[in-house]
Amino acid sequence: MLLFVIIFNLVITCINCYLVFKLWQSYLSLQQLTYQLTDIEQQLNKLLSASPDLILRGQQRTAQLRKLYKKFLMQLAIAQKVFRSLKFVWKVWYRIQN
C-alpha cells in the first residue's frame, strides 16, 4: 500500500511539474505578446497623433475645391451662354448674307 501511495504521489508530482512547465511557457509567451502589443500601441499613437490636423487640413481643402468647382460651373454657364449667343449671331449673319 505504501508503494502505491509513493508511486501515485510521484505521478501527481510529474503531472504538476509538466503543468508548471506549460504554464511558465504560456506566461513567457503572453509576456512577449504584451511587449509587442505595447510597442505597436506606441507606434500607432505616434502615427495617429497627427491625424486630427491632417483631417482638418483635408476638410479645408475639400471646402476650397467645392468653392472653386462652383466658380467653374458659373464660368462654364457664362461661356455656354456666350457661345449660344455667338452661334445665334452667326446664324443671323449667315441668313443676312444669303
d(Cα 7, Cα 30) in Å, to the nearest integer?
A: 34
Find the mean pLDDT for residues 69-74: 97
Q: Could you report the per-residue pLDDT of 72-93, keeping only the tens digit for each?
A: 999 999 999 999 999 989 988 8
Find the mean pLDDT for residues 51-70: 94
The DSSP secondary structure of 23-81, one letter per residue, reads HHHHHHHHHHHHHHHHHHHHHHHHHHTTHHHHHHHHHHHHHHHHHHHHHHHHHHHHHHH
The DSSP 8-state label assigned to residue 28 in this structure reads: H
d(Cα 94, Cα 87) in Å, to the nearest integer?
A: 10
